[in-house]
């Protein structure tokens, strides 16, 4: 509580707090607030709506008139229950890299916190937390091809937070038609090692490197599913222009389509 300092020679302030605006039965009253201050923090019994007013007392102990009446509300009670999650359904999978997460609205909530984590502990690594005003959330950027754990809590107008909801899991998977996306490079010089984005259903990858764009007699490298890069620099390739591409393989024989073709140059002359 705060107020402006009136003119005149002051001795102290008196303040009253009540649950009715007529102050029939004040729940708090203080006559010992020093003249040198214009703030005060009363101790009140609990949540609810309160009214308050203040007046100045001069050095002759004559009180002035009461200030206008102001009101405030104390609310320390959290929302009754956490949100109930809707979609994506628990233990589901989707090829959408920016799926919309939804949950049931909680009465009295003005905002929601949604947490997403790669682990069910929501502690390590640090989860991503976003605050939204509606009962839905769409990630601002594409999610990785992995499993996400997510949960939501409600926040009321006073900032009280509910317990977290029961967590759901959703797996982001690559479409069957997905192809690896090659790393970016400038002026024909790739960022070593050669890298590409993962395909969630891949059992392994086939990398081809050739000195022609038709990939006649290419060098072939079979790489495990978790390997998303390869460094050709130590292999002593002759100087020249090279082309490279990657495709995913599933069940040893079923190949996906080739990626786009990357181009790089080897020049060890100087």
pLDDT tens profile 71-115: 998 888 888 899 999 999 999 999 999 999 999 999 989 999 999
pLDDT in tens, 207-216: 999 999 999 9
| pLDDT on residue 186 | 46
CA-wise closest residue to 170 among 255, 113, 102: 102
| pLDDT on residue 3 | 58
CA-wise closest residue to 148 among 180, 116, 125, 179: 116
Tokens of 221: 């490298």
Check residues 172 and 6 and name the one with the higher pLDDT.
172
**Residue 166's pLDDT band (boundaries 50, 70, 90)?**
very high
Q: What strands lie across the sheet with 28-34, from one edge to the other?
A: 28-34, 10-18, 48-58, 70-74
Q: What separation in angstroms does the CA of 191 have from each of 182, 195, 228, 230?
A: 11, 8, 13, 11
| pLDDT on residue 8 | 64
| Gap between the Cα atoms of 264 and 260, Å rounded | 13
Average pLDDT over residues 239-258: 91
Check residues 8 and 196 and name the one with the higher pLDDT.
196
Report whether pLDDT(270) > 60: no
The most confident of the ranges 7-11, 25-29, 101-105 is: 101-105
| Gap between the Cα atoms of 228 and 224, Å rounded | 8
Average pLDDT over residues 216-240: 89
| pLDDT on residue 193 | 86
| Mean pLDDT over each residue of the chain, to the nearest integer | 89
For the full predicted model, state whether its pTM sits above 0.75. Answer: no
Residue ranges of domains in the chain, CATH in brackets: 10-74 (2.60.40), 85-172 (2.60.40.10), 185-266 (2.60.40.10)
φ/ψ of residue 2, rounded to 5: -145, 160
Count CB neighbours of 130 within 10 A.
13
> What is the three-class DSSP state of 233?
helix
**Residue 187's pLDDT band (boundaries 50, 70, 90)?**
very low
Tokens of 163: 């317990």
Residue where the block lists tokens 């009670």: 77
> What is the three-class DSSP state of 63?
strand
End-to-end CA distance of the chain: 75
The CB-side HSE value for 43 (13 A sphere, CA atoms) comes to: 0
| pLDDT on residue 190 | 57
| pLDDT on residue 59 | 84
Helices (H) and strands (E) in the chain, counts: 0, 21
Report whether pLDDT(184) > 70: no
| Gap between the Cα atoms of 248 and 256, Å rounded | 5
Contact 74, 50 (CB under 8 A): yes
| pLDDT on residue 77 | 85
Length of the chain: 270
Report whether pLDDT(185) > 60: no
């Amino acid at each position: 509580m705060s107020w402006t300092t009136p003119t005149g020679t002051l001795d102290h302030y008196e303040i009253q707090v009540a649950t009715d605006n007529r102050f029939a039965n004040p729940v708090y009253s203080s006559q010992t607030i020093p003249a040198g201050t214009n703030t005060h923090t009363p101790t009140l019994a609990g949540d609810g709506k309160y009214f308050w007013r203040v007046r100045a007392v001069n050095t002759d102990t004559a009180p002035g008139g009461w200030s206008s009446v102001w009101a405030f509300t104390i609310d320390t009670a959290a929302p009754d229950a956490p949100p109930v999650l809707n979609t994506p359904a628990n233990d589901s999978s989707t090829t959408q890299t920016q799926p919309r997460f939804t949950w049931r609205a909680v009465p009295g909530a003005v905002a929601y916190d949604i947490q997403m984590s790669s682990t069910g502990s929501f502690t390590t690594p640090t989860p991503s937390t976003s605050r939204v005003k509606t009962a839905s959330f769409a990630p601002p950027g594409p999610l990785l091809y992995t499993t996400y754990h997510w949960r939501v809590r409600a926040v009321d107008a006073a900032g009280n937070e509910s317990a977290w909801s029961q967590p759901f899991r959703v797996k982001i998977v690559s479409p069957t038609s997905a192809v690896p996306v090659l790393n970016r490079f400038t002026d024909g010089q790739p960022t070593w090692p050669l890298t590409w984005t993962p395909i969630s259903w891949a059992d392994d990858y086939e990398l081809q490197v050739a000195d022609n764009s038709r990939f006649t007699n290419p060098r072939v490298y079979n790489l495990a599913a978790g390997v998303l890069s390869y460094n050709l620099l130590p292999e002593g390739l002759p100087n020249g222009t090279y082309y490279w591409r990657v495709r995913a393989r599933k069940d040893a024989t079923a190949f996906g389509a080739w990626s786009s073709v990357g181009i790089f140059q080897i020049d060890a002359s100087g």
